[in-house]
Structure 1
Amino acid sequence: MLSAVTRHSENECLIIDSCGFSLQDLNELLASVDCAAQHCSFDQVTHLMEQHDFKLIFLHTCVTDTNALSELHFLRQQYPTTPVIVFDQQLSQSRIDEFLLWRASDYVSITQLDTKTIQRVIRYNLSIKQHLTDIVRLNKVDPLTGMTNRQQFYKELSRQLKPFQQSKQHNSLALFIIDLDGFRRFNNINGHAAGDKIVKKLGDRLTKLAPALITRLGNDEFALTLTADPDDDLVQRATLLCYQILHALTKPYQYHELEIILPCSIGIALAPQHSCEPDSLIHQATQARLKAKEQSSCSYFIFDQQHSHLNEKQVVIEPELISAVRRREFELYYQPRVDISNGNIIGAEGLIRWNHPEKGLIFPDEFIPTAERTGLIVPMGYWVLQQAGEDIHRLREAGLDIKHLSINLSFRQFQDGYLCRTIQRIIEKYDIDTSILEFELTESALFNNELHVREGIEELHKLGINFSLDDFGTGYSSFSLLQKLPISSLKIDRSFVAGVADNQDDREIVKALIRLAHSLNKEVIAEGLETRQQLNFLASYGCTQAQGYLYSKPVPFAEFQQQLAEGIQTKEPIAASL
Structure 2
Amino acid sequence: MLNSYQVYDHNTIFDISPRVEKVCLSSSGDVDFYELLSSVYVGKIKVDPQEFFDKFDLAGLYIIYNNAIRELKGMSIFKVSVNINKDFLYSKYIEKLATENKSSSIFFEISEAEQFKFSNDAYKRLEYLRDKYSIQFILDDFGAKNSNFDFIIKNRFHAVKIDKSAFWDFFENDKEFLSKLIGYLKLKTEKVVIEGVDSYEKYIYCQSNHCLMQGYFLERASDLHETTPGLNR
The two structures have a TM-score, normalised by structure 2, of: 0.77
Q: Give the 5 Å matches for 1:440-519.
A: 440-461=109-130, 462-499=132-169, 503-505=172-174, 507-519=175-187
Query: Offset of 1:391 from its aligned partner?
Result: 2.4
Conservation of the 8 A alpha-carbon contact between 2:110 and 2:140: yes
SS in 1 for 2:138: strand
1:400-454 alpha-carbon deviations (Å, 9 max, x no partner): 355x31111112334x5xx1x323334444x3435x1001111122222242433
Is residue 193 of structure 2 the alignment partner of residue 525 of structure 1? Answer: yes
Query: Offset of 1:512 from its aligned partner?
Result: 2.6
Conservation of the 8 A alpha-carbon contact between 1:377 and 1:412: no
Conservation of the 8 A alpha-carbon contact between 1:334 and 1:349: yes
Structure 2 Cα separation of the partners of residues 545 and 405 of structure 1: 15
Structure 1 Cα separation of the partners of residues 166 and 231 of structure 2: 23
Which is strand-richer, 1 or 2?
Answer: 2
Q: What is the match of residue 3 of structure 2? A: none
Q: Give the 5 Å matches for 1:196-235.
A: none
SS in 2 for 1:451: coil
Flag the structure with more relative contact order, 1 or 2, with Cα contacts below 8 A and sequence separation at least 6: 2
1:388 aligned to which of 57, 60, 68: 68
1:475/1:516 CA distance change after superposition, 3 Å: farther
Letter of the 1:424 counterpart: E
Query: Offset of 1:550 from its aligned partner?
Result: 0.4
Structure 2 Cα separation of the partners of residues 411 and 355 of structure 1: 24
Query: Offset of 1:392 from its aligned partner?
Result: 3.4
Structure 2 Cα separation of the partners of residues 455 and 552 of structure 1: 37
Conservation of the 8 A alpha-carbon contact between 1:377 and 1:410: no
Conservation of the 8 A alpha-carbon contact between 1:345 and 1:568: no
2:36 aligned to which of 320, 336, 350: 350
Identify unmatched segments of 5+ residues in structure 1. 1-319, 554-559, 574-578
Q: Give the 5 Å matches for 1:10-25.
A: none
Conservation of the 8 A alpha-carbon contact between 2:162 and 2:194: yes
Structure 1 Cα separation of the partners of residues 67 and 227 of structure 2: 24
Aligned sequence identity (%)? 19
Structure 1 Cα separation of the partners of residues 231 and 9 of structure 2: 43
1:380/1:504 CA distance change after superposition, 3 Å: farther
Letter of the 1:549 counterpart: Y
Structure 1 Cα separation of the partners of residues 128 and 203 of structure 2: 36
Q: What is the match of residue 211 of structure 2? A: 544
Query: Offset of 1:552 from its aligned partner?
Result: 2.1
1:544/1:368 CA distance change after superposition, 3 Å: closer
Letter of the 1:407 counterpart: V
Query: Offset of 1:545 from its aligned partner?
Result: 0.9
CA RMSD of aligned residues (A): 3.4
Query: Offset of 1:371 from its aligned partner?
Result: 5.0
1:76-97 alpha-carbon deviations (Å, 9 max, x no partner): xxxxxxxxxxxxxxxxxxxxxx
1:241-292 alpha-carbon deviations (Å, 9 max, x no partner): xxxxxxxxxxxxxxxxxxxxxxxxxxxxxxxxxxxxxxxxxxxxxxxxxxxx
Letter of the 1:480 counterpart: D
Conservation of the 8 A alpha-carbon contact between 1:472 and 1:490: yes
Q: Decide which structure has the larger Cα Rg and report it.
A: 1
Q: What is the match of residue 322 of structure 1? A: 10
Is residue 108 of structure 2 the alignment partner of residue 439 of structure 1? Answer: yes
Query: Offset of 1:535 from its aligned partner?
Result: 0.9
Q: What is the match of residue 19 of structure 1? A: none
1:378 aligned to which of 44, 52, 58: 58
**Aligned length, in residue pairs:** 222
Q: Give the 5 Å matches for 1:290-301.
A: none
Is residue 56 of structure 2 the alignment partner of residue 368 of structure 1? Answer: no
1:335 aligned to which of 21, 35, 54: 21
Q: What is the match of residue 96 of structure 2? A: 425
Identify unmatched segments of 5+ residues in structure 2. 1-7
Conservation of the 8 A alpha-carbon contact between 2:25 and 2:212: yes
1:478/1:454 CA distance change after superposition, 3 Å: same
SS in 1 for 2:144: coil
Letter of the 2:206 counterpart: L
1:519/1:368 CA distance change after superposition, 3 Å: closer
Structure 2 Cα separation of the partners of residues 530 and 552 of structure 1: 9
Letter of the 2:35 counterpart: E
Structure 2 Cα separation of the partners of residues 532 and 341 of structure 1: 10
Letter of the 1:413 counterpart: F
